[in-house]
């Protein structure tokens, strides 16, 4: 089984296949078929494809996190990076992704989506029977869940913020593994409609619980829907789905019990993790070079345990991030209960339900502060509570691939968040609502597919 799956994955992630993922590929169709090509023939084959960690669980786009301003590089570290990393860091308008190979966020995302489509096409060929129904349904649910998550993560990076009326460009919606189907960009409304359909369709198919959070369950799908609706600024729906997720798992880690001096104090697959996934980490985000913004670090007062659990002091007096929910230096991009508490709290606050909003916020903060320092926060109105919640969201969800999306959707609410960085004495800025908040699609994708590039 392992040999079969490895051959299949290798074929899926070949450069030739990438060309076909981008659009029509006549040269590929003219090529002689490989008689040794392995085709998945059993449910176990399909499950093994989805269980391939490098293809499915460590490939969330990281370019949005690299574009946010939670960290900075020294002049020397910036100069030591490759051209693409340097251009991402200074928000250049084009040429942000390596081309000619599979090593960029777009190929990771759409390679994973191809696997989802292969599974969805393969299931009817195997057939659903009384004996395999539970496994068959679960596999379909997993493929729909991953495809929906992939499109959500991609939309956050390569699309402008959601607006029902904008008519903005969305993603090419690949819903089949057919190589010969051209890639055409949908509208942003169509993109979100598809990913919501996928996630909602996955819910009745997925199990209530799984043995490990690397496999999606109903709570993971509800959590993904909460994230999607939050990014769409549909706060009522976001709150309801966050609540559904929390009805299954409402556990919170007590940071008082963690060893803050450890290299990575937060364990992988801990009690808060509903769905475990990692981002493809851009080299500038590596803690060995990424310095935490000093203004951000100053938001954590004495008694806030995140100040020592999340950060370590460098020898030069700067700080690096160590609080990943992966238990390593990697970037966690999955679903966890702390985020669900904050989404539900924000929804309550925006609806004027101040007491409920503060109850969720204080439930979280009680587990984040030293017991001797903790005092419940209070607010007289929903608007006041909202400001407290957004501040804690900023502090709690650091390095989770969420900040880029948050900036975009909050700027649609009038937040006016602009970003700036300084390199070699030159200041680079990204004004609120700038078109560069939708990163350019990789150049080779545009060249091969003929799709329209994001406007600049």
**Domain span at residue 189?**
2-257+332-449
- pLDDT recorded at residue 1: 42
What mean pLDDT, rounded, does the chain reach?
92
Burial group, residue 384, by CB count within 10 angstroms (0-12, 13-18, 19+) = middle
Beta carbons within 10 angstroms of residue 327's beta carbon: 16
Instruction: Output the pLDDT for position 2.
Output: 42
Position 5 pLDDT exceeds 70:
no
Count of residues making up the chain: 456
Q: What is the pTM of this model?
A: 0.93
Q: Which of 302, 303, 326 is nearest to 256 (CA)?
A: 303
Residue 430 β-bridge partners: 419
Structural domains in the chain (count)? 1
353 located within any domain: yes
In the beta sheet, which residues pair with residue 427? Answer: 422
Q: For residue 161, is it within any domain?
A: yes
Question: What pLDDT, in 10s, does the model give residues 402-435?
Answer: 999 999 999 999 999 999 999 999 999 999 999 9
pLDDT at 87 over 90: yes
d(CA 389, CA 357): 8
Note the helical H segments in 276-334: 294-297, 306-309
- Evaluate whether residue 281 is within a structural domain: no
161, HSE (Cβ side, Cα atoms, 13 Å): 23
Residue 317 domain flag: no
| DSSP letter string, 366-424 | HTTB-TTT------SSHHHHHHHHHHHHHHHTTTSS-HHHHHHHHHHTT----EEEEET
Nearest-angstrom CA–CA distance, 286 and 364: 28
| Nearest residue to 64 (alpha-carbon basis) of 323, 389, 281 | 281
Query: Taking a C-beta distance cutoff of 8 angstroms, is the pair 155, 404 a contact?
Result: no
452's tokens: 């329209």
pLDDT tens for 183-241 read 999 999 999 999 999 999 999 999 998 989 999 999 999 999 999 999 999 999 999 99
Within-domain flag for 412: yes
What the block records as the tokens of 104 is: 């960029």
Percent of the chain with pLDDT over 70: 91
- CA of residue 90 relative to chain centroid, distance: 22
Q: Please state, in angstroms and rounded to a whole number, the distance separating the CA atoms of residues 397 and 402.
A: 7
Q: What pLDDT is stored for residue 28 in this prediction?
A: 30
* Helix (H) or strand (E) run with residue 86 in it: helix 83-89
User: Which CATH number belongs to the domain containing residue 347 in this structure?
Assistant: 1.25.40.390
Q: What is the pLDDT of residue 39?
A: 76
Whether residue 320 lies inside any domain: the answer is no
Q: Is residue 380 part of a domain?
A: yes
The string of DSSP codes covering 23-42 is S--HHHHHSPP-TT-----S
């Amino acid at each position: 089984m392992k040999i079969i799956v490895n051959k299949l994955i290798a074929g899926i992630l070949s450069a030739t296949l990438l060309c076909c993922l981008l659009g029509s590929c006549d040269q590929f169709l003219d090529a002689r078929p490989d008689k040794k090509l392995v085709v998945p023939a059993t449910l176990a084959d399909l499950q093994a494809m989805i269980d391939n960690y490098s293809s499915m669980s460590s490939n969330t786009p990281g370019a949005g996190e690299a574009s946010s301003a939670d960290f900075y590089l020294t002049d020397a570290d910036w100069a030591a990076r490759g051209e693409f990393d340097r251009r991402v860091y200074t928000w250049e308008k084009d040429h942000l992704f390596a081309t000619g190979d599979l090593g960029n966020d777009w190929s990771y995302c759409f390679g994973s989506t191809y696997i989802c489509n292969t599974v969805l096409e393969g299931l009817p060929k195997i057939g659903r029977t009384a004996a395999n129904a539970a496994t068959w349904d679960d596999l379909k649910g997993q493929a729909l869940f991953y495809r929906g998550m992939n499109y959500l993560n991609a939309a956050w990076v390569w699309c402008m913020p959601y607006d029902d009326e904008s008519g903005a460009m969305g993603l090419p919606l690949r819903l089949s593994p057919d190589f010969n189907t051209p890639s055409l960009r949908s509208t942003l409304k169509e993109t979100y409609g598809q990913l919501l359909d996928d996630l909602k369709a996955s819910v009745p198919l997925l199990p209530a619980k799984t043995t490990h959070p690397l496999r999606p369950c109903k709570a993971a799908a509800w959590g993904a829907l909460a994230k999607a609706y939050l990014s769409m600024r549909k706060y009522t729906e976001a709150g309801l789905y966050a609540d559904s997720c929390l009805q299954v798992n409402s556990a919170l880690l007590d940071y008082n019990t963690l060893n803050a001096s450890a290299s990575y104090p937060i364990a992988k697959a801990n009690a808060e993790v509903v769905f475990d996934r990692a981002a493809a980490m851009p080299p500038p985000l590596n803690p060995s070079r990424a310095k935490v913004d000093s203004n951000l670090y100053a938001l954590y007062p004495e008694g806030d345990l995140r100040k020592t659990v999340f950060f370590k002091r460098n020898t030069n007096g700067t700080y690096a991030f160590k609080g990943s929910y992966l238990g390593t230096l990697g970037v966690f991009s999955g679903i966890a209960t702390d985020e669900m508490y904050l989404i539900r709290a924000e929804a309550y606050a925006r609806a004027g339900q101040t007491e409920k909003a503060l109850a969720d916020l204080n439930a979280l903060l009680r587990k984040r502060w030293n017991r001797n320092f903790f005092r419940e926060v209070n607010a007289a109105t929903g608007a006041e509570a909202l400001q407290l919640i957004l501040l804690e969201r900023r502090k709690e969800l650091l390095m989770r691939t969420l900040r880029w999306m948050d900036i975009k959707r909050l700027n649609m609410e009038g937040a006016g968040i602009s970003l700036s960085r300084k390199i070699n004495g030159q200041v680079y800025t990204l004004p609120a609502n700038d078109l560069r908040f939708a990163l350019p699609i990789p150049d080779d994708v545009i060249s091969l597919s003929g799709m329209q590039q994001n406007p600049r």
